Amino acid sequence: MKILYITHYAGLGGANNALLHLSHSLKEMGHECVILFPKDGAAVTAAEDLGLSTKIIKNIQWAGPIEKGLHYRLRLLHIMQINAFALRELIPYIRSEGFDLIHTNTSLPYIGALAARKLSIPHIWHVRENLSFYGYDYMYGASYARKLYSEASAVIAISAYIKDYLENTYGVTGNVHVVYDGIPDMPEITPVPDPDGRFRLMYAGGISEGKGVRDVLKASEILKNRGYSDRIRIKMNLGRRDAHRDIWDFFEDRGLSEIVATGDYGDMRDERTHFDCALMCSKDEAFGLVTSESMRDGLMVIGADSGATPELITDGETGLLYTQGSPESLADRIIYAMEHLEIREPIIRNARARFIENYTDTINRDSVLSLYRKALEGK
């Protein structure tokens, strides 16, 4: 099988990491996988390092902030023009290479759907995001989006939360399949004990309100006021000061000594050896690779009761849930986890079992491959 993947960006974020896992796994089975990027970047290099073929064709996503006025209408015309040029290059390329199927990796690019329509070949659409979380919508309207989705051979949602979002917001029904993202199975890490006996928590999310970063900062302040400063340590990837000045101001003004601020993390497996617990605080998390990686590696997760996180975390069984947007709730759950050490071993064991049953790259690959085969049979 020869598959063309289309992604909307060239960085190494969650969507592209999941795509690299999937396409590399299929390549190892003997399928030919090519990834189309809109420009060069770190993900292009990573794909080529895995032995995957790549192609770059400039195109612009069809979702973004919706505005009014002449400037916005001119912007839409510009996007349509750029994508028309992209299709003029893409369609002959697909013909000449003989692709069996097109797989669009996120909901943001749409040239794959148009090319598949033109060439009458199967198109799989992989939806990994709730556009409203970013303040986005489809620039050409919900009805046009619904039409393109309805033409797809299958629509993959990375969680039941995203499936519900597609159905309730855009009326995309009938051919939507929940397929959780997968990562390679690896042994649990061997934790390095903290010399001071502190309970160590790791936050590795985005630095935005929607990702729940203020929940962590404010919970830290609550823990400090309750006298727990010497018993906990929270590491957060707060990024550059100039990029997130308001977050850094809050952190520094409160004197939060419990928090160790860092830029980007290094190797995440190595990082997790120095922690007892992972935090997933996003309001509208579409899936959460950070959560599944922590479940695999043997860290207990404290997660928000919102988005797709409750699909991965059952409170008290495979992790702990707190009320998203309530720092008090998060602080209470941190204290509970710290003061009830007897719950950690069974929770970690149950989480690891759930990971193996649901979130490995093999399960993800086989589920997607099944949809490919059905699409080709339908053709």
Query: 223-236 pLDDT, tens per residue?
Result: 999 999 889 998 88
206 has a pLDDT exceeding 80: no
Phi and psi (nearest 5°) for 230? -80, -5
Helix (H, G, I), strand (E, B) or coil at 181: coil
The answer to whether residue 242 scores a pLDDT higher than 70 is no
- For residue 53, name the pLDDT band (cuts at 50, 70, 90): very high
Query: What average pLDDT does the chain have?
Result: 92
Model confidence pLDDT, tens digit, residues 349-374 = 999 999 999 999 999 999 999 999 99
**What DSSP assignment string belongs to 65-124?**
----SHHHHHHHHHHHHHHHHHHHHHHHHHHHHT-SEEEE-SSS--HHHHHHHHHT--EE
Average the pLDDT over 123-127 and give the result.
97
Least confident interval from 69-83, 85-99, 153-167: 69-83
**pLDDT computed for residue 68 by the predictor:** 86
Q: What is the mean pLDDT of residues 294-322?
A: 97
Q: What is the DSSP secondary structure assignment for residue 230, as one 8-state letter?
A: G
Q: Are 200 and 194 in contact (CB under 8 A)?
A: yes
Average pLDDT over residues 316-339: 97
Which amino acid appears at position 229 of this protein? S
**In the 8-state DSSP scheme, what is residue 127?**
E
What was the pLDDT predicted at 379? 65
Segment 10-22 shows an average pLDDT of 91
Question: Residue 41's pLDDT is what?
Answer: 96
Do the two domains 2-183+361-378 and 199-358 of this chain adopt the same fold?
Answer: yes
d(CA 98, CA 317): 48
Residue 33's pLDDT is 97
Res 72 pLDDT > 80: yes
Residue 299 pLDDT level (bands cut at 50, 70, 90) = very high
Query: 199-358 has which fold?
Result: Rossmann fold (3.40.50)
pLDDT (average), residues 277-300: 94
Extents of the domains making up the chain: 2-183+361-378, 199-358
In this prediction the pTM is 0.91
CB contact set of 121 (below 8 Å; sequence gap of 6+): 94, 99, 100, 101, 102, 379
Whether domain 2-183+361-378 has CATH 3.40.50.2000: yes
Q: Is the dihedral of CA 196, 200, 204, 206 positive or negative?
A: negative
Confidence of residue 165 (pLDDT cuts 50, 70, 90): very high
Q: What share of the chain is helix, strand, coil (3-state, %, to 5)?
A: 45, 15, 35
- Alpha carbon 266 to its chain centroid, in Å, reads 18
Please give the Cα distance from 46 to 18 (Å, whole number): 12
Average pLDDT over residues 22-26: 93
Proportion of the chain above pLDDT 90, given as a percent = 76
Residue 243 has pLDDT above 70, yes or no: no
| Bridge partner residues of 101 (DSSP) | 3
The whole-number pLDDT of residue 181 equals: 94
CA angle centred on 180, ends 176 and 184, rounded to 5°: 150
Q: Which of 36-40, 258-262, 295-299 has the lowest mean pLDDT?
A: 258-262
Confidence of residue 260 (pLDDT cuts 50, 70, 90): confident
